[in-house]
């Protein structure tokens, strides 16, 4: 899952980026409203965490721009303003959730997971394809009851494939959801990571789940 953090305080943005990446999300940062609108139009994000008080264009105008373009992007709003009027204004402008500063990072993560579940229309709890099981909360992965250890990027790639089960996903789609803004699409990094996953997921099983669709991309078949 790929998240855009829009926060003008670079220390706060760096803290959020680091914490979210430790939870296996791909994260980009924008530091003003104009940059945020450009990045939202240029990239495919699963969620935006949006500060209200921003230079150039404030968060409410950014949110209006997103909604005017009818982008299906869940938005978690962050602000130091905590009056009922401010909360109502943010939600009425099109925000999906609202969190006031200061906040506990664990609460932010819980809200992020809830918004992503709502976007994907997935029930809470584990993802399962055949005997492969992934828990989005604990990040535990197992196949046939045997625990599988994955790196952060391998986990993010597997989660994306499992959420797109029985669908062909192109390398571009994978890069947009699993890697960040600085990813070089000319490299073979995606193919390398898919092979790593195959070695961990499929090597010892008679039922192969990860398939190459020649000239197109990959598919995880259930």
Domain end call among 61, 86, 120: 120
Domain end call among 100, 120, 140: 120
One domain, residues 116 and 9 = yes
One domain, residues 6 and 109 = yes
One domain, residues 111 and 153 = no
One domain, residues 75 and 147 = no
One domain, residues 50 and 152 = no
- What confidence score (pLDDT) does residue 94 get? 84
Residue 212 half-sphere exposure toward CB, CA atoms < 13 A: 10
130 phi-psi bin (left φ>0, alpha ψ -120 to 50, beta other): left
CATH number at residue 49: 3.40.50.2300
Mean pLDDT over 14-21 rounds to: 94
Domain end call among 99, 120, 141: 120
One domain, residues 18 and 95 = yes
Q: What is the pLDDT of residues 53-78, one digit of tens each?
A: 999 999 999 999 998 888 889 999 99
CB contact at 8 A, 78 and 50: yes
Residue 180 has pLDDT above 80, yes or no: no
- What confidence score (pLDDT) does residue 118 get? 80
Q: Residue 155 — very low, low, confident or very high, per pLDDT cuts 50/70/90? A: very high
Residue 40 has pLDDT above 60, yes or no: yes
One domain, residues 30 and 74 = yes
CA 124 from chain centre, in angstroms, equals 16
CATH number at residue 173: 1.10.10.10
- What confidence score (pLDDT) does residue 178 get? 87
- What confidence score (pLDDT) does residue 7 get? 96
Q: Report the distance separating Cα 135 and Cα 113, nearest Å.
A: 12
Residue with more model confidence, 205 or 83: 205
Domain that holds residue 200: 127-220
Q: Residue 33 — very low, low, confident or very high, per pLDDT cuts 50/70/90? A: very high
One domain, residues 99 and 180 = no
Q: What is the pLDDT of residues 111-122, one digit of tens each?
A: 999 898 887 655
One domain, residues 89 and 6 = yes
One domain, residues 18 and 40 = yes
Mean pLDDT of the chain: 89
- What confidence score (pLDDT) does residue 121 get? 57
- What confidence score (pLDDT) does residue 31 get? 97
Single out the residue of 191, 211, 187, 215 nearest to residue 201, CA to CA.
211
One domain, residues 114 and 131 = no
Q: How many domains does the chain have?
A: 2
One domain, residues 93 and 169 = no
């Amino acid at each position: 899952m790929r998240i855009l953090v829009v926060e003008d305080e670079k220390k706060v943005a760096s803290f959020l980026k680091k914490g979210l990446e430790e939870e296996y999300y791909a994260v980009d940062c924008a530091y003003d409203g104009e940059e945020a609108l450009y990045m939202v139009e240029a990239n495919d994000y699963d969620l935006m965490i949006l500060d209200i008080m921003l230079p150039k264009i404030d968060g409410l105008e950014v949110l209006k721009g997103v909604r005017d373009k009818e982008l299906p992007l869940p938005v978690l709003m962050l602000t130091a303003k905590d009056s009922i009027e401010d909360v109502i204004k943010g939600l009425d402008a099109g925000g999906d959730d609202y969190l006031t500063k200061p906040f506990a990072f664990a609460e932010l993560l819980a809200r992020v997971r809830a918004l992503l579940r709502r976007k994907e229309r997935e029930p809470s709890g584990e993802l399962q394809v055949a005997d492969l099981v992934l828990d989005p909360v604990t990040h535990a992965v197992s196949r046939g009851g045997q625990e599988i250890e994955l790196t952060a990027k391998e986990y993010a790639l597997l989660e994306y494939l499992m959420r797109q089960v029985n669908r062909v996903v192109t390398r571009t789609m994978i890069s947009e959801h699993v890697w960040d803004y600085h990813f070089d699409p000319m490299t073979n990094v995606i193919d390398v990571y898919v092979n790593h996953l195959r070695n961990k997921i499929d090597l010892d099983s008679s039922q192969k789940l990860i398939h190459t669709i020649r000239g197109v991309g990959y598919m995880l078949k259930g």
